[in-house]
Amino acid sequence: MPVISAAAVEELRLKARKLRQDIITMIYEAASGHPGGALSVLDILVVLYYKVMKIDPGNYLDPQRDRLVLSKGHACPALYAVLADRGFFPSSYLSVLRKIDSPLQGHPDMRKTPGVEMSTGSLGQGLSAANGMALAARLDNSRRRVYVVLGDGEIQEGQVWEAAMTAAHYRLDNLTAFLDYNGLQIDGWIRDVKSPEPVAEKWRAFGWHVLEVEGHDYASLLKAIGRAHTNKGAPTIIIAHTVKGKGVSFMENQIDWHGRAPNKEEYEQALAELQK
Amino acid sequence: MTEKIATRDAYGKALVELGRRMDKIVVLDADLSKSTKTALFAEEFPLRFFNMGISEADMMGTAAGLAASGYIPFVSTFGVFATGRVFDQIRNSIAYTRLNVKIAATHTGITVGEDGASHQALEDIALMRVLPHMTVVVPADGRQTYQAVEAIAGCEGPVYLRLGRPKVPQVIPEGLPFELGRGQLLREGKDFAFLATGITVGLSLEASQLLERQGINAAVVNIHTIKPLDKDLLLHMAAKTGAFVTVEEHSVIGGLGSAIAELISGNYPIPVIRVGINDTFGESGSPEALLIKYGFTVENLIKAGQTAMEKKR
């Protein structure tokens, strides 16, 4: 039985198309930022924020809410676009990304942006914080869940593996991690810079329940999340195979688009593609 | 003299007492709970204690996550591992976020002793003091440690609590109230003032007693909170005495002496002589032998006082 109807998938696809336009527009207006990773991670966030997470934008500090930590903080334009669309803050915020006095910082700031659960940006730290949130949920005897999104380059940080041991040791089955496996980091393909492979085997060896999906396929993502929810006694990581720059032809799989803004011509071309 | 007690021992006992009253207190340690004395808490509250193994960076981040969910984590390990090793984790996950994490570091300063330089935190105050939103507290004795632990559990925001390994005498009079950010004038004086923190408070009191026989009236102030500094008291003492000697079991760079010099230079310039570790690492030895070798003696403090007075205008 499909976990999501074809009509619902189409709805998400249209939503993601609009959010991708928001991402490109934000970064164009900010004249800096990280489009590649924001576009690769977006569909994971779309599934979580529109279909999975128990959250109430009108009461976003509800102690019983689900939490998401965007450990790869540089992808925050995707998170901001989603949070604005879900009503955590006015969409007018998007136009002041990275500008002076802005509620939307260049990397996520939990004290400035409603809906941001943890300040991130210094890579490698988000999984530890998510573990703490999952431990807190357990102490509270709460069924709330914690989600964390890691970058593939990010798992070169040693702290990630310290945290991986912690989550397994404490059997944090209320925690689900996502690996945005787009294969690229700033200096090139991660397999060339410093390969983290074999990725799935590593997480399995660290005691995790490991699933692999196509990271832009909503039905697959939802199915994997469902399996994560029912898995007991171990945390789950969903290795999401994604495309850096997904949705904009000239950005896809191009490392040049890790951390630069489009110029006017590129912006218009990207928008035209996303409006098709 | 009353019974000696190590500040780490007082910390361990205080945590247990607080744990009984405050169910949001949780404790994390990195495989040193027997030394940091958090094992006492672990024994009574096993479900609220998390041994994170030898992974301090992860421990700091986990504490941040617990704090973000309403808990009050006390995080303990030795001073070197609680600060320098995890500076970025504290900076980004705890200080920048203003999360309610209490970093209680034991085994700070030269009195770590025989383990030597790798384990002697002589720069931890400097590292924590430079972070926005961080409160830095150094209790002078066991009794004051009780008061400090209670105070920091009740305040909102990140705190660095600096504790020591060896047993130390009680130097703060019983019943003297403890307030974060407020220095304690332990002895009046007009010729100069010792501004001391941690275990050097007792030494400063001893030196001031000897000086009195020479007809010199040295004030002694316990600066248990290095950040935020007690500006009012320090400026009052500057006007009253005209010369300061700072004393700390820490590098003279970046710690108490630096903090006071920064305050004084811009507000009431007077000589500030800094006694501490003079830009060097420590070494192995007994705590007593190390204290003597690195200048934590009554004689050295008296000499510093004389220098401070000579420089008065």
A212-242 pLDDT, tens digit each = 999 999 999 999 999 999 999 999 999 999 9
Q: Largest Cα–Cα distance in chain B? A: 60
A137 in B contact zone (CB under 8 Å): yes
Give the pLDDT mean for A118-132.
98
Residue A260: the pLDDT is 95
Chain A contact set for B50 (CB, 8 A)? 135, 170
All structural domains of chain B, each given as residue ranges with its CATH number in brackets, are 5-168 (3.40.50.970), 184-310 (3.40.50.920)
Q: Which residues of B are identified as catalytic?
A: 56
Cross-chain residue pair B69–A63, CB shorter than 8 Å: yes
AA letter at A13 = R
Confidence check: pLDDT of A1 > 60: no
Which two three-digit tokens encode residue A242? 């994604």
Give the pLDDT mean for B265-271.
97
Give the pLDDT mean for B75-79.
98
Q: Distance from B55 to chain A by nearest Cα, in Å?
A: 6
* B68 to chain A: closest CA residue: A133
Alpha helices in B37-117 (DSSP H): 39-44, 56-68, 79-82, 87-89
The DSSP H or E segment spanning B194 is: strand B192-196
| B47-62 pLDDT per residue, tens | 999 999 999 999 999 9
Chain A contact set for B62 (CB, 8 A)? 128-129, 131-132, 135, 163, 166
Domain A6-275, classified CATH 3.40.50.880, yes or no: no
pLDDT class of A2 with cuts at 50, 70, 90: low
Residue A263: the pLDDT is 97
Optimal mutation site among B27, B28, B58, interface A, most CBs of chain A within 10 A: B58
Q: Distance from B53 to chain A by nearest Cα, in Å?
A: 9
Dist CA B239 CA A9 (whole Å): 74
Chain B contact set for A127 (CB, 8 A)? 61
Confidence check: pLDDT of B80 > 70: yes
Cβ-based contacts under 8 A for chains A and B? 108
Residue A233: burial class (beta carbons within 10 Å; 0-12, 13-18, 19+): exposed
| Residue A166: count of CB within 10 angstroms of its CB | 26
Chain A contact set for B48 (CB, 8 A)? 139
Q: Minimal CA–CA distance to A255: which of A198, A196, A182, A197?
A: A182
pLDDT class of A276 with cuts at 50, 70, 90: confident
Residue A153: the pLDDT is 97
Chain B contact set for A118 (CB, 8 A)? 64-65, 68, 93, 97
pLDDT class of A33 with cuts at 50, 70, 90: very high
| A65-110 pLDDT per residue, tens | 999 999 999 999 999 999 999 999 999 999 999 999 999 999 999 9
Helix axes A6-30, A264-275, angle to 10 degrees: 170
Optimal mutation site among A105, A135, A148, interface B, most CBs of chain B within 10 A: A135
The DSSP H or E segment spanning B29 is: strand B25-29
Number of helical (H) and strand (E) elements in chain B, helices listed first: 13, 14
B132 in A contact zone (CB under 8 Å): no
Q: Supply the DSSP symbol for B300.
A: H
What residues pair up with B220 in beta bridges, in sequence order?
B187, B194
Residue B3: the pLDDT is 85
Chain A contact set for B92 (CB, 8 A)? 119-122, 125
Sheet strands (E) in chain A: 67-70, 146-151, 175-181, 184-185, 188-189, 209-214, 236-241
Dist CA B185 CA A18 (whole Å): 65
Cross-chain residue pair A125–B93, CB shorter than 8 Å: yes
Burial B286-298 (b: 16+ CB within 10 A, else e): ebeebbeebbbbb
Confidence check: pLDDT of B1 > 80: no
Cross-chain residue pair B69–A132, CB shorter than 8 Å: yes
| A8-20 pLDDT per residue, tens | 999 999 999 999 9
Q: Supply the DSSP symbol for B94.
A: I
Q: Are A135 and A170 in contact (CB under 8 A)?
A: yes
Cross-chain residue pair A129–B93, CB shorter than 8 Å: yes
Residue B2: the pLDDT is 67
pLDDT class of A198 with cuts at 50, 70, 90: very high
Cross-chain residue pair A110–B63, CB shorter than 8 Å: no
pLDDT class of A3 with cuts at 50, 70, 90: confident
pLDDT class of B296 with cuts at 50, 70, 90: very high
Residue ranges of domains in chain A: 6-275
Q: Looking at chain B from residue 28 to 67, which residues have their Cβ under 8 Å from any Cβ of chain A?
A: 47-48, 50, 52-53, 55, 57-67
